Structures are given as structure tokens and as C-alpha cells.
């Protein structure tokens, strides 16, 4: 998977080029190509922004500079993604969909954003990582790179990727490791029983319970099995009983 990143702040990506993704890059499973948009300014002062037409606060990134940076890319067949608060909210389904691409171009805006004309010309998809405002599109681009890379074969143990939270649409079950007793609290006995069938059932119940308590909205979208519905009914009833007390 190749990422071309158009940004005014390439240094910000250094941490991502290390750790897990760094190793994946070493193995050449992932390539992060950073393009400094400022290198394409024709101006003697390397100016990349200007005041907004119509007035108002802040500055707007110049369309010509962004366009030249884009034109410098070798392969322009790839999807261009603009990270912006106006984009479609990112979710795991979108992450999985994008992970099937072999090449993505990520456009990071700064100041008040980028001149609309160049966006209309080069951008295929506008994505937001959530309903809040950041100073630039770099952190969202890193979020996208990190979340997509987990699905690139060989980057992670694919077994754990398939098992995890969200890939099946509900939250995960709780995890435990040694010591067996911590602050007087014992690990749930069933996890030491060695009975894989019972452990799987217990984990499914805990996952459904977690989702019911913390993200009931996720349950609405689910195609739950007959068995899951039964478990949820029980969870709901236990909850109601507690409220009545």
C-alpha cells in the first residue's frame, strides 16, 4: 500500500514512520511518500496562503501551489482523499474499503482550508475523522494511514485483526492477563477452565453486554443471531430488575 501525502508539515509524520508502521515500511508493505506543498510555491517568499475573497478571518491555501504539488506525483490514478471537518465521517467499514486500494493520495489542509476550485478539480473523497476541529489535516491523515495499514497483509497478525472490535460491528469482550489476583480481584474463573466452547459463549455475552451499556446505538445496526437476541433479552431484563430496586 502506497500513501502519497500532500502536506505543509511533513515532519509531523515522523512518529508514524516509526514503531509498528515503521517496521511495515521497512518490510516494504507500506510506503509513505511525503510531499511538502511549500516546495511548489513559485513565490520568492515561498508563500502558500492568501487572504479569503469576500473577507473574513484567517488565510486560505492557494489553489495553484496545491495543484502543482499534486501534478508532481508520478501516478495520478490513485484516489485523492481530502481530510476535512466537512467530510463523511470515517468508520471501520470505510477503513476496510480503502485498505483494498493499492495507492492513496492524502491531501492535508491548513489555515481555513484550501481554495474550493482545486478541491473540485482533484479530490475524489472528503473524509472527516469526527465532529471536532483541528488545526490541520495531518492528524486525520495519520489516523487514516494507521487504521488502513492494519488491514495490509503482513503488517499485523491478521487473526487479531479479524477478531477485533468493530470488524464484527459490536464492542469487544474484556481482556485479562497475569497475575491471577490483582488488588484482591480474581480473573473470571471461566477463562481458566480450558473449555473453549464455554469461553467463546462467555466472551460473546460480555461483548453484547459491553455494547448494550456503552454503545447501544451499535446494536440497532446489527444483524444479530437468534442466540444473541436471547442473550440480549436476558441482559435487558437484569437491567430492568436492577432499576426497579
Near ligand 4H6 by CB under 6 A: residue from 20, 22, 50, 136: 136
Distance CA 58, CA 51 (A): 7
63 binds ligand 4H6 (CB under 6 A): no
Contacts (CB under 6 A) with ligand 4H6, residues 82-111: 83-85, 109
Site stretch for ligand 4H6 (CB under 6 A), options 25-33, 72-80, 122-130, 164-172 = 122-130
Binder among 133, 157, 177, 243 for ligand 4H6 (CB under 6 A): 133
140 binds ligand 4H6 (CB under 6 A): yes
The C-alpha atoms of residue 219 and residue 152 are separated, in whole angstroms, by 28
Please choose, out of 64-72, 123-131, 211-219, 222-230, the segment that lies near ligand 4H6 by the rule CB under 6 A: 123-131
The interface region with ligand 4H6, picked from 134-142, 151-159, 172-180, 227-235 by CB under 6 A, is 134-142
131/189 with CB nearer ligand 4H6: 131
Q: Which residues bind ligand 4H6 (CB under 6 A)?
A: 83-85, 109, 112-113, 128-130, 132-137, 140
Amino acid at each position: 500500500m502506497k500513501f502519497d501525502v500532500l502536506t505543509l508539515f511533513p515532519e509531523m509524520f515522523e512518529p508514524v514512520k516509526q514503531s509498528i508502521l515503521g517496521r511495515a515500511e521497512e518490510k516494504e508493505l507500506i510506503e509513505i511518500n511525503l510531499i511538502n506543498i511549500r516546495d511548489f510555491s513559485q513565490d520568492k517568499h515561498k508563500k502558500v496562503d492568501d487572504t479569503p475573497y469576500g473577507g473574513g478571518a484567517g488565510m486560505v491555501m492557494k489553489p495553484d501551489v496545491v495543484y502543482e504539488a499534486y501534478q508532481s506525483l508520478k501516478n495520478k490514478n490513485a484516489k485523492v482523499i481530502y481530510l476535512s471537518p466537512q467530510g463523511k465521517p470515517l468508520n471501520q467499514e470505510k477503513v476496510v474499503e480503502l485498505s483494498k486500494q493499492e495507492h492513496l493520495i492524502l491531501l492535508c489542509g491548513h489555515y481555513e482550508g484550501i481554495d474550493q476550485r482545486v478541491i473540485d478539480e482533484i479530490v475524489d473523497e472528503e473524509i472527516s475523522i469526527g465532529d471536532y476541529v483541528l488545526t490541520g489535516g495531518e492528524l486525520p491523515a495519520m489516523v487514516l494511514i494507521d487504521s488502513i495499514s492494519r488491514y495490509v497483509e503482513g503488517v499485523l497478525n491478521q487473526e487479531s485483526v479479524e477478531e477485533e472490535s468493530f470488524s464484527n460491528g459490536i464492542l469487544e469482550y474484556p481482556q485479562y492477563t497475569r497475575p491471577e489476583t490483582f488488588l484482591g480481584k480474581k480473573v473470571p474463573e471461566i477463562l481458566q477452565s480450558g473449555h473453549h466452547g464455554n469461553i467463546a459463549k462467555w466472551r460473546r455475552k460480555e461483548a453484547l453486554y459491553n455494547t448494550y451499556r456503552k454503545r447501544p446505538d451499535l446494536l440497532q445496526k446489527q444483524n444479530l443471531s437468534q442466540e444473541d437476541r436471547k442473550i440480549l433479552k436476558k441482559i435487558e431484563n437484569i437491567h430492568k430488575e436492577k432499576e426497579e430496586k
